Structure formats: structure tokens, C-alpha cells
Structure 1
Amino acid sequence: MEQTNLSVTTYFIIIGFSDFPILQPAISFLVLLVFLATVSGNMTILLLVCKDQHLHTPMYFFICNLSIVDICCSTNNLHNILISSVLGDNTISIAGCLIQIFIFISLTCAELLILAVMSYDRYVAICNPLYYNMIMNFPVCTLLGISCWVLGALESIPIFLELFRLTCYKSNTINHFFCDIMPVMKLTCSDTTFLDFYILTLGVLVSAFSPFLFTVISYIFIIVSVLKINSTAGRHKAFYTFSSHLTVFILLYTTLAIQYLRPHSVINLDSNKLLDSNKLISLFNTAAMPLLNPLIYSLKNKDVKASFRRVSRVIKQKL
């Protein structure tokens, strides 16, 4: 394949699911439906929490942060498919591509941190209920929420700057439906030693493993405390308050591990098949997960259902 210099190549071609031409219209239509449902579901959560004072609690404050992450992540990662299906334009500038990678990594890091903070919130609520309001007060929750967003962005800046230093690409065709770091690194003919080292150390060990370990430890303490409850009804109620968090935690880390933690021997053996499978996993991670989050966390929750009825009554009265 002919090597193309970055000074000449000013855009990338995102092939999306064009290698499945028969399924592409159906995939685009399904992605549109999922995107609209994701935005609607998460916007509903944000609206209910803002309008109903009964939901002005730390747990729903962090769920609102997670909803914002889901909306931004879906918009960032799925808009290429939607634009390509409507306008037939599957190109993106190199700067736009690198910005999309930065936003995706920042949002992913922020989401992992938010899940860790939510596990701590559930730990305090279940293991130290008498001190919950004192520990998880408004200033503390605000500081934790801001920290998740800021740290997510800071962890992504070195990757963003290093990607801008790449000087040449073997091709400008990205085998993905959005700009992800693995397909772009596969195309470059520049030295990616620093990127590989940074992703392995700070990316995996710090950005992913640290919140993972913190979350696991929190859930271990929670499970131990729940098992000590003598009442069956009490154990059931306590388990219900964190089971949804645990479900999302398992799904997210499982898909991320499958997608990004494969042995280099497998990657080198057949990188095209790897990227093809990553597209399907990414589609679940960036389309299905943001849709599942409001369903798992909130819309099935009796407090949210009661809030929805209260807000609906207020809206009907005003109309």
C-alpha cells in the first residue's frame, strides 16, 4: 500500500460497515433508533432530577453525570454513521479525527471514575448510613463530580498531543465506524513507542485499573455488610440499591477488556479481523451501553417512576 504523508493527506475515510453492504441500511437505521432512544432516555433522567426535589440526592447527582457522559459519547461516536447514511459523506479531517479520539478517551476515563465514585456512594449509604448525609454532602459531591471530568480530560491530553505528532500514514482509510485510537495507530508509519508505553502504563494501570480496583473493593465491603443483615427483606433492599451499579460495572469493564486488552500476538496475527470484531464490540459499547444505563439505573427504579408521575401531573396542570 502506498505511503501517504500527513502534509498531503488532510482527511480520513471512515468505512464504517461498508464491508457489509447488505446490512448497512439496516445498521444505520438501527443506530439512529438507538441514538434517539439513548438521548431521550438520558434527557428524561436529567429532566426528572432537575424538576423533582425528591431526586436531589448524591446518587442521582452522579447518575446525571453518567447520563451526560452517555449523551456526549453517543453523539461523538455515532454521528459518523448517521452523517454517512444521510449525506453519503464518510470523510473526516485529521484534526477532527484526533479531536474525536480525545473526546472518546476523556469520556471513557470520566465514566470509569464516575462509576468508582458511585460505588463509594453506595458503600457509604449501606455501610455507614448514619454518616451518609455528613460524608456525601453537596460540596463533596460537587468536588467529586468535577474531579471525574477534569481527570478524564487530563489523562487524555498526552495521547492527543502525541497523535498530533504523527507525521505519516500508510493509508487514510480507517476500518471503523468512528475515529478510535487502535485503527489510527494501525495506519501510521511513525514511531508509536511512547503511545504504546503511555497507554499501557497510565491508560491501563492508572485510568482503568485504579478505578476498577477501587470499585471492586467498595463492592466487597458492600456485599460483606449486606450478608451481615439479619432480615431477609433488609438484605434484599440493600442488594437492590447497588445491584444496578454492579451490572453496569461488569458490562462496561468486560467490553473494554475484550476490546483493548488482547495479546499482541493475536493483534499481529490478524489485525483486520481484530478490527472487524472491535467494530461490533464498540457498537455495543457506544450504542447499547448508553441506552442500557438509564434503563438499568433509573427508569426501572420506583423512585424515578414516582418522580415521573409527579412531574407529569405538574406539566398537565400547567397545560
Structure 2
Amino acid sequence: MFQANWTTGTVFIFLGFSHYPKVEIIIFVLCLLMYLTTLLGNIVLISITILDFHLHTPMYFFLSNLSFLDIWYTSSALTPMLVNFVSRKNTISFSGCASQMYLSLAMGSTECILLSMMAYDRYVAICNPLRYSIIMNRRLCVRIAAGSWVTGCLTALVETLSVLQLSLCGNSIINHFACEILAVLKLVCGDTSMAQLIMLVISILILPMPMLLICISYAFILTNILRISSVDGRSKAFSTCAAHLTVVVLFYGTALSMYLKPSAIDSQEIDKCMALVYAGLTPMLNPIIYSLRNKEVKVAVKKLLIRNAFNTVLISILK
């Protein structure tokens, strides 16, 4: 194999799920449905959060950030795969690959941090309800959101640059459906220990530590829930926490198994399936579990639909 630096003329070929032609069409349909559902759910959530002043609270401020993030995250991972499947090209340029790798890392890292901050917000709301508005004031919420975005984008930039400066082995075939950093790293010649060390350090900071904060927050939340005298109130709180934790386990569990698994374990096919879970499934579930099941959001959606229907009828009458 000859060595070559990354150049703007480099074109990469995705293997994707081409080894399984019978399953490939099923995966395409599922990914398309996940993507469309993710777009619809998150756009609806962002819209009602902006339009309904009753939802101008810290929780929905963070949820709208999460929705905006998930749209970009899913689009960066799934859109090129869907386009390639339809066009039957399965190729991507150097700039496209670098952009996709950076965006996926940036959005994924930001989501890890943001989910832990949302768990802290729920902890304050349930365990310190009287001081909630004082602690989670607007300035702090903006700083938390901005800090999550800046940290996620900077760590992704460091990881991406650590790989882009390495030399390729002349092989441009990526055994994945996207420019996932671990799959791209397999094309590199020479010593990759520094890039792997950087990824390990960042992965530890971005994955286990935020997840530990989430676990601690929910431990206090569950302890507080057990003190609720009402059986209905307790069961409702438990079901809400269970739903939130399901999304957290899906997202962090698959990401942890991808980025912190032992180097001896190398199954690219399993990695592809896991990537579909944290890049496609969890962004689709987030708006459903975190908000669209809430009574406040349902009321806001109904009001928005009624308002739009009324405006349409009024315009037609005036014409």
C-alpha cells in the first residue's frame, strides 16, 4: 500500500450494507422513516416552543436546543446514506467526508453534554422546586446551552484534525454508511496512537462523566419521587423518568460500546447497527419521549393547529 495525504481530490467509497442486498432496502426504508419522523417531531417541538409563551421555560429551552441539534445530527449521518442509496453512487468527496465526520462528532458530543445538563435541570425542578426559578435563571440557561455547543464543537474539531493530518494507505473504501471517525481511521497508514489517545481522552470526558452526572441526578430525583404520597403521582413520575432513562441508555450505551470498547473487539457490522441507533433512533425518540407525551405540549400543539385552521378559514372568507 502506498501512502498519500488527504487531498481535495480524494473520493471515498462507502460499503454501507451492500454485503446484505436483501436487508439493504429494509434498512433504507427504516432510515427514511426515522429521518422524516425526526424532522417532523423536532420541527414541531421547536415551533411550539417559540410560538407558545407558556413553554418559555428552562426545560423547553433546553429541549428546543436538543431538537435543533438532533436535526443536524441525523441529517449529517443519514442524508448522505439515503442520497447514495437512491443514486447508487455510494461515494463522497474529501470535503464532504471531513464535514460529515466533524458534524457528526460535534452534534454527538454536544448532545452528550446537553443531556446531562437537562438531567440537572430536572433535578433542580423536582428536588428544589421553590428555588428553581432563581437557580435556573435565563442567564444560566443560556450559558449552559452555549457551553454545551462550544465544548462539543471544539472537541470534535480536535478529533477531526487529529485524523485529517495522518496519511492514507491508498485505500479509499470505507466499511461504513458514513464517514465515521473510527471507520476512517482504519484507512490510515503509520502510527495512529496519538489520534487514538486524543479520542480516548475526549470520549472519557464526553461519555462516562456526563452519564455519571445523569445517574446522580436521577438517583436524587427517584429518592424524591418515593416521598410522594399519591400513588398516581408516583407512578406518573416513575414512568416519565423511565422513559427519559431509556433514551439516555440507548444513546450513551451504544456510544460507549463504540468508542470505549477494547481494541481487541472489532466488528464493523455491529458498529454500523449501533451507529444507526444513536444517530437515527434516539434523535427520533427524543421529541416523543421528552416532550410530545407531555400535557403542556399537547395543549400547545392543539392551540397551534386551531389557530392555523382559523387563519386559513379567515383568509378564504376575506378573499
Normalised by the length of structure 1, the TM-score is 0.92
* Contact 1:99-1:160 at 8 Å conserved across structures: no
CA distance in 1, matches of 2:278, 2:206: 18
The residue identity in structure 2 corresponding to 1:307 is: A
Report how far residue 37 of structure 1 moved.
1.4
1:125–1:243: structure 2 CA closer, same or farther, 3 Å change rule?
Answer: farther
2-structure distance, mates of 1:238, 1:56 = 22
**Residues 193-213 of structure 1, C-alpha deviation per residue, up to 9 Å, x if partnerless?**
111111112x22211122111
State the Cα distance separating 1:146 from its structure 2 match.
Answer: 1.0
Query: What is the CA-CA distance between 1:4 and the residue it aligns to?
Result: 5.0
Match of 1:315 in 2: 308
Structure 1 contact 123–222 (Cα < 8 Å) conserved: yes
Structure 1 residue corresponding to 2:281, chosen from 285, 288, 292: 288
Shift of residue 235 of structure 1?
2.7
Counterpart of 1:226?
225
- Looking at structure 2, the residues matched to 172 and 96 of structure 1 have their Cα atoms a distance apart, in angstroms, of 14
* Counterpart Cα distance in 2 of 1:216 and 1:84: 39
Residue by residue over 1:160-196, the C-alpha shift from the partner in whole angstroms, topping out at 9 and shown as x without a partner, is 2212211222511000000001111111113211111
Task: Name the CA distance, whole Å, in 1 between partners of 2:137 and 2:244.
Answer: 20
How many angstroms apart in 1 are the aligned matches of 2:264 and 2:73?
30
Q: Which residue is 2:123 aligned to? A: 123
- Once the two structures are TM-superposed, the CA of residue 240 in structure 1 deviates from its matched residue by 4.8
Gapped regions of structure 1 (runs ≥ 5): 268-273
Question: How many angstroms apart in 2 are the aligned matches of 1:16 and 1:219?
Answer: 38
CA distance in 1, matches of 2:82, 2:235: 43
Q: Indicate if the aligned counterparts of 2:48 and 2:301 stay in contact, CA closer than 8 A.
A: yes
Find the residue that maps to 1:16 and give its secondary structure.
Answer: coil
Residues 207 and 256 in structure 2, CA contact (< 8 A), matched pair in contact too: no
Q: Tell which deviates more after alignment, 157-166 or 238-247.
A: 238-247
**Structure 1 residues 158 and 100: alpha-carbon distance in aligned structure 2, compared to 1, 3 A threshold:** same
Distance of 1:176 and 1:5 partners within structure 2: 21
Contact 1:49 1:56 (8 Å CA) reproduced = yes
- 2:91 corresponds in structure 1 to 91
On the 8 A contact 2:225/2:234 being kept in 1, the answer is: yes
Q: Hey, what does 1:181 align to over in structure 2? A: 181
Aligned twin of 2:191 = 191
Q: How does 1:1-319 map to 2 (within 5 A)?
A: 2-3=1-2, 5-6=4-5, 10-201=10-201, 203-267=202-266, 274-319=267-312
> What SS is found at the alignment partner of 1:309?
helix
Q: Which amino acid aligns with 1:152?
A: G
Are the equivalent residues in 2 in contact too, given 1:3–1:170 (CA < 8 A)?
yes
Query: How far apart are residue 30 of structure 1 and its match?
Result: 2.7
Cα deviation, 1:70-107, whole Å, max 9, x if unaligned, reads 11111100122211122222111223212211111111
Amino acid paired to 1:13: I
Secondary structure class of the residue paired with 1:60: helix
What is the identity, as a one-letter code, of the residue corresponding to 1:260? Y
Distance 2:184 2:105 in 1: 14
Q: Is the 8 A contact 2:127 2:221 kept in 1?
A: yes
Q: What do the CA deviations read for 1:238-290 (whole angstroms, capped 9, x no partner)?
A: 435544322211111111122222212223xxxxxx01111111112211111
1:124-154 deviation digits (Å, cap 9, x = unpaired): 0010000011111211111111111011011
- Structure 2, unpaired ranges of 5+: 313-319
SS of equivalent to 2:179: coil
Paired residue secondary structure (1:139): helix
**C-alpha RMSD of matched pairs (Å):** 1.8
Are residues 315 and 206 of structure 1, via their aligned partners in 2, closer, same or farther at CA, if it must alter by over 3 Å? same
Once residues 7 and 131 of structure 1 are traced to their aligned partners in structure 2, the CA distance between those partners, rounded to angstroms, is 53
Counterpart-to-counterpart distance in 1, 2:168 and 2:64: 41
Paired residues, number: 311
- Percent identical among aligned pairs is 38
User: 1:237: Cα distance to partner?
Assistant: 4.5
Alignment-derived partner of residue 271 in structure 1: none
Letter in 1 for 2:288: L
Q: Distance in 2 between matches of 1:164 and 1:296?
A: 37
- More divergent stretch after superposition (249-258 vs 102-111): 249-258
